Amino acid sequence: MVRIKLLILVVLCVITCTVTATELVVSVDGKPIKIIFITPKVIRVIKYQDTIKPDKEELVMIKTPEKVPVKKTERKDYIQFQSPELKVSIHKKSGVLSFFDGTTLLLRERKEDIVLKEGVKQGFLLSNDEAIYGLGQHQDGKMNQRGQHLYLKQRNTEIAIPFFQSTAGYGVYWNNYSATTFSDNEDGTFFSSEKGSNIDYVFIKGAEADDIIASFRALTGTAAMFPKWAFGYWQSKERYKSQFELLDVVKQYRKLKVPLDGIIQDWQYWGVDKKMWNGVTFNNPLFPAPDKMIDSIHQLNAKLMISVWPSFGSKTQIYKELESKNKLYDFLTYPPDPEIKVYDAFSKDARDVYWKHMNKNLFAKGVDGWWLDATEPVMKQRNVSDGIVHHENEVSDMLHNPKNQQTALGDFEIYANAYPLQSVAGIYEGQRNANKNKRVFIMTRSAFAGQQRYASMLWSGDIRASWQVLKNQIAGGVNLSMTGIPYWNTDIGGFFITPNYPKGVTDTAYQKLYVRWLQFAAFTPMFRSHGTQTPREIYQFGEKGYWAYDAIEKFINLRYQLLPYIYSNAWEVTAAASTMMRGLAMDFKQDKKTWDINDQYLFGKSLLVAPIVDSLSNTRQIYLPKGTTWTDFWTGEQHQGGNTVVKKAPTDIIPLYVKAGSIIPFAQKQQYVGEKADETLELRIYTGADGEFSLYEDEGDNYNYEKGISSLIAFSWNDKNKSLTISKTKGEFPGMLKKRRFHIVLVNQSKGTGAQMSASFKAVEYSGKQQQIRF
């Protein structure tokens, strides 16, 4: 017997009617299925075991369901509900749900015949002719996630996000925070979670990848805008052992005139006593005057990011305060010591205590950004044969049974994967309350769905230095980006260099790997050098004139010249739910050859990046997606899409191709963000198609942009008429340039190529009014 109940309903339905409903409940064999139309193309499905009651606190989804007009139709075998965008049908006997776009089947549930003793499982039937992406960050180098068997549990180098999107035009978010297994095989596609009594998932219809991500971000939160200086170059290592060493690095970069925007202080600035672990204060005698140190960094026009962990030693003030509130967990963390405990990030009180100490001891002294390390805090470290260090959550490593470990919300195992979301939220909200005028910038090792709303920059964890690991970063970063979290980076050169490169930076083989890694990193959202066992500063690679030094300097400079393009793309991420690091299938889904390319991607929608990931060759094959013309960034040579080209790339070149119709602003070289106003920009136009680009600018480091205090200049290229239209400036902000000059270059094999400014251009004086330039 099937029973139907429509909530928020003011009319009775007989067979077919149109209603305005938020929630619909269908009972199959006495078990209720709730269908919530959150928007016309986003549906949440909850299958209850008996009565309608939640099995967890909602942490991820923040959007209030809209009042969606829904048409109900009942037939012999099924009931269907249809919004203006999406139709869902429920088979009366089996309870199986199917999702349609008009008459086109997008996805159907698999009738599950496996009963779990504990936890929940749901299967789906995907067609053979679709690729899927997402599921977080994984280190296997696989782009298309079909055929995968993945254990989704937060670990060092592994980021668990139970969301995937399909080339068939939909996405699925599995709304469960416990450890989950994802499996795709000949029997179906499954999510199976260790904890939970209710099956809970969200189906999203989207014609393109950007549409799916936009709906998922609308559901889970808009990506925050980082300060502009976050997109410059960052130097780090494990670790700077004194404030004098730290300051000297910044001074060396300024002396060498190599651009630098940030320096990072890793652990033990609090001292070496484990009982003082992560005291969230400068307690190390080698940092005797942190206030003056930070002031000096700022006077050198650089920013400081600092490492903070979620665990604390027993002698620290923060430990004592959290202990008094019973807000510490009783399980082993890293470093494994019974005197070091993790705080309960699911407690608002505990998050407030955490931020209070960070604010008083670090933020008030001028710290600019946060490196929240080990945000998957239950860890055991072990080395494995794939060259990656994993930290796994294992029951045997607990001091107490994890089944008895309670959080402020309930059983830790029910909520474990959402730990980084909650921990990062406390810092984001704390800083925003403490200072309305300084943007939050957080780098963290782990994430869960929705974390983009808390100014999170992810990194790929403690990876080892090898060419295969370098290659695997590409698919890992792209798949993470396709879960809706747009900001990601990696330790340039790999965190650990042994056993492959025991001589470190003096080894020419390592230098080659490092340079290739840095070239790749220049085209990721954050550009950051970090690692242990060998230093990474540019001057460690020799002097100017040495190939490694020159290549590093070249790409740091190129990064700064591309900052107008990068920052404008960052605005698109916030304002239009765009994605900066893009799998080829996001923009070229119709070209099936792009579906499983794991060593190329788009940086923004214009630049195709094909890193060198092979130690044996400076030449590689590159597939250029069909449907457009591509221009070699370095030579200006044009190629038709749908073809594979062979590119020679000496050690100071990374293969880059620009899509026809692209307009890329190219800035002058500078030593740090804001050193020079962009009074003169080179506009490179890549002909062969019409194109548009909007140059976004604002004050760079406050939240006035949320009030619309910013500016946009739109550029439109008409390829047939060979004309460029520059729009009237929209918006304004304090300090905005009133007049500027654009050097406009139509790129060909003789000009507008490579990292140098073109000597041949058409100069245009611009004062904010619309104008058209013909060629």
> What are the CA-CA distances from residue 420 to residues 599, 654, 753 (Å)?
29, 34, 43
pLDDT band, residue 51 (cuts 50/70/90): confident
pLDDT band, residue 554 (cuts 50/70/90): very high
Q: Check if 719 is active-site.
A: no
pLDDT band, residue 16 (cuts 50/70/90): very low
Residue range 297-324: average pLDDT?
A: 98
Least confident stretch, 46-55, 225-234, 352-361, 566-575: 46-55
pLDDT at 11 over 90: no
Q: Amino acid identity of 598?
A: N
pLDDT at 387 over 50: no
Q: ∠ at Cα 576 (475, 426), nearest 5°?
A: 75
Residue 409: predicted pLDDT: 98
DSSP state of 689: S
**Residue 142 near residue 148, CB atoms below 8 Å:** yes
What is the Cα–Cα distance from 567 to 580, expressed in whole angstroms? 10
Residue range 285-305: average pLDDT?
A: 98
pLDDT at 357 over 90: yes
pLDDT band, residue 113 (cuts 50/70/90): low
Q: How close are the terminal C-alpha atoms of the chain, in Å?
A: 72
pLDDT at 394 over 60: no
pLDDT band, residue 378 (cuts 50/70/90): confident
Residue 539: predicted pLDDT: 98
Ordered by where they begin, the domains of the chain are 2-220 (2.60.40.1760), 267-440 (3.20.20.80)
Residue 5: predicted pLDDT: 47
Neighbours of 642 (CB within 10 A): 14
**Residue 578 near residue 603, CB atoms below 8 Å:** no
Judged by DSSP in three states, 681 sits in strand
Active-site pick, 238, 373, 553, 701: 373
Residue range 714-729: average pLDDT?
A: 98
Residue 4: predicted pLDDT: 46
Residue range 411-428: average pLDDT?
A: 97
Query: Strand 262-265 vs strand 233-235: parallel, antiparallel, or unpaired?
Result: parallel
What are 83-107's pLDDT values in tens digits? Answer: 999 999 999 999 999 999 999 999 9
Least confident stretch, 22-36, 262-276, 396-410: 396-410
Average pLDDT of the chain? 93
Residue range 215-226: average pLDDT?
A: 98
Q: Check if 261 is active-site.
A: no
Active-site pick, 344, 392, 462, 698: 462
Residue range 411-429: average pLDDT?
A: 97
What are 558-603's pLDDT values in tens digits? Answer: 999 999 999 999 999 999 999 999 999 999 999 999 999 999 999 9
What DSSP element (H or E) covers 389? Answer: strand 389-391
**Residue 194 near residue 120, CB atoms below 8 Å:** no
Judged by DSSP in three states, 404 sits in helix
Q: Check if 682 is active-site.
A: no
What angle, 0 to 180 degrees and rounded to 10, lies between the N-to-C axes of helices 243-256 and 290-299? 10
Find, among 493, 492, 464, 467, the residue nearest to 388 by Cα: 464
Residue 397: predicted pLDDT: 38
Residue 196: predicted pLDDT: 94
Residue 758: predicted pLDDT: 86
Least confident stretch, 51-60, 211-220, 599-608, 645-654: 51-60
Query: Residue with structure tokens 């416990």?
Result: 178
Residue 40, token pair as written in the block: 């016309």
Instruction: Please provide residue 418's backbone torsions phi and psi, each rounded to the nearest 5 degrees.
Output: -90, 5
Residue 278: predicted pLDDT: 97
Residue 118: predicted pLDDT: 86
Residue 30: predicted pLDDT: 84
Peptide bond into 499 cis (omega under 30): yes
- Residue 100: alpha-carbon gap to chain centroid: 30
Least confident stretch, 379-393, 506-520, 544-558, 676-690: 379-393
- Residue 456: alpha-carbon gap to chain centroid: 7
Judged by DSSP in three states, 39 sits in strand
Find, among 766, 765, 699, 700, the residue nearest to 735 by Cα: 699
Sign, CA dihedral 141-147-151-153, equals positive
Residue 379: predicted pLDDT: 56
What is the Cα–Cα distance from 471 to 451, expressed in whole angstroms? 26
pLDDT at 392 over 70: no
What are 123-159's pLDDT values in tens digits? Answer: 999 999 999 999 999 999 999 999 999 999 999 999 9
What is the Cα–Cα distance from 184 to 317, expressed in whole angstroms? 48
What is the Cα–Cα distance from 239 to 252, expressed in whole angstroms? 17
Residue range 335-340: average pLDDT?
A: 92
Residue 2: predicted pLDDT: 47
Active-site pick, 376, 392, 550, 553: 376
